[in-house]
Amino acid sequence: MTDGTQERINLLGLAPAEMEAFAVGLGEKPFRGRQLLTWLYKRRVADFDGMTDLGKNLRARLADIADVRMPEIVSEHVSADGTRKWLLRAGRSDGRDQAIETVFIPEMGRGTLCISSQVGCALDCSFCSTGAQGFNRNLTTAEIVGQVWLANERLGVAPDGSRAITNIVLMGMGEPLANYKNVLPAMRIFLDDRCFDLSRRRVTLSTSGLVPQIYRLAEDINVALAVSLHAPNDELRNQLVPINRRHPIAELLEACWHYLDAQNGRSITFEYVMLDGVNDQPELARQLAGLLHGYDAKVNLIPFNPFPGSDFRRSKPDVISYFRDYLNGRGVTATVRRTRGDDIDAACGQLAGRVHDRTTVRLGSKMVTIGVEA
C-alpha cells in the first residue's frame, strides 16, 4: 500500500516501451503492458475495475499505485465557426492557478487538435500572446497526452465510428523542443498503433528554431516539422523571433534540410505571420523566395491575430494575396491559413492561459540560457 505521500503514477505519461517495463516491474509479463495500452487508448477506459481481462489482484495493485489523470477543465468556449477552446488547470504556484489552453479546429474531413507543451513560453516572439505571458514550467508527458485524451472524451466518436481528432499539432503554448524530454514520448504515444495510431504526417511539431534539438529530432522520430520563420533575413528575424540571435537563418535552414534528408520527409512547412508594414513588403517576398526556391518547402502565411497590448496590425488582404502569389510564381508553394476561433481568442498566436511565478526571464528582454530538458 502507498503511505499517502508517494504520488501515483499517471499511466498517460508512459510511452509503449515504458508501459511494458512498468508491467514487468509489477511482476507481470510485458503483454500486460500492451493490454493496458489497449484499454487506455483503443477503448478509452480509465477505471481499472473496467479492465476486465486483467486479474483482480493486478487491478487492485494498479488502483493503489497508479491512475489515469487528465487535466482539469477550468472553462470551455465554442466559437461561431465550431472551434473549441479549453482552459486547463496545470497545477498551482503561490496558491494561484496555472493554466494552459488547448484548441480543437473542425474542418471538412479532418479535425485538428492544437496542444500546449509548456505553461507559457520563454522565447518571447514579439507577435505572440503566449510569449508575452512569460514562462513557468514544462508540461509533463502525461499533461501533454492528457490534452488529447480529454479532447477525445469531450468530442466523442462519430456515428460511423470515425474519430473527431485526425491531426495533432504542437502549436499551442510553449516551445516543444525546449521540453524535449516530455514531448518525445508524447509523440511516440500519438504515433504508436497501440495508442492513438496517427500517421507521422498527421502529427506536426512547430518550433521557433532550436537547432540542436532539430538535429536530435531527426535521429529520434519522424513527424511533420513546421518552423516559425516570419522573416527572410537575420536583421528582421532577430527582432521578431529572438532565438534567431543564437541560431540565425542559415544555421536553421541547414538543420531543416538535414531533418528532411534523415527522415525522408516530403517537405518542411515554414510559418510566416503577416504583419502590416513589418514583414509584408514585396522585397521581403523576393528574399523569402530566394531562400526557399529549389527546396522541399511550403510557406503558410498566417494573418496576424491581435491580442491585448500588441502594437502589430494584420496585413491587408491584398498584400497577403500578393505575397502568396509571388511565392507561388517563383516555385515556392504558399498558402494562406484561414483564421479560426478568433472570436474566442483561440486563433494562432492568441493562446495565453494563466501564467504566474514566471521563473524564467523572457529571451527578448535579456539573452538567457534556454532551459532545454534533455
- Annotated active-site residue 283? The verdict is no
Q: Could you give the strand order of the β-sheet that contains 96-107, starting from the edge strand earlier in sequence?
A: 72-78, 84-93, 96-107, 110-114, 167-170, 203-207, 224-228, 268-274, 297-303, 333-336
The reply to whether 114 belongs to the active site is: no
**125 contacts 131 by C-beta, under 8 angstroms:** yes
* Cβ pair 92, 210 in contact under 8 A: no
Looking up cell 516501451, which residue turns up?
17
Other C-beta atoms closer than 10 Å to the C-beta of 359 total 13
> Using N-to-C axis directions, what is the helix angle for 141-155 and 180-191, rounded to 10°?
40
* Residues ≥6 apart with Cβ < 8 Å to 327: 285, 288, 289, 299, 333, 334
- Please tell me which residue in 114, 195, 256, 348 is annotated as part of the active site: 348
- Catalytic entry in 101, 143, 175, 271: 101
* Burial bucket for residue 1 (CB in 10 Å: 0-12, 13-18, 19+): exposed
In 3D space, the residue among 135, 220, 228 whose CA is nearest the CA of residue 174 turns out to be: 135
What ranges make up the beta strands (E) of 133-232?
A: 135-138, 167-170, 203-207, 224-228
As annotated, the active-site residues are 101, 348
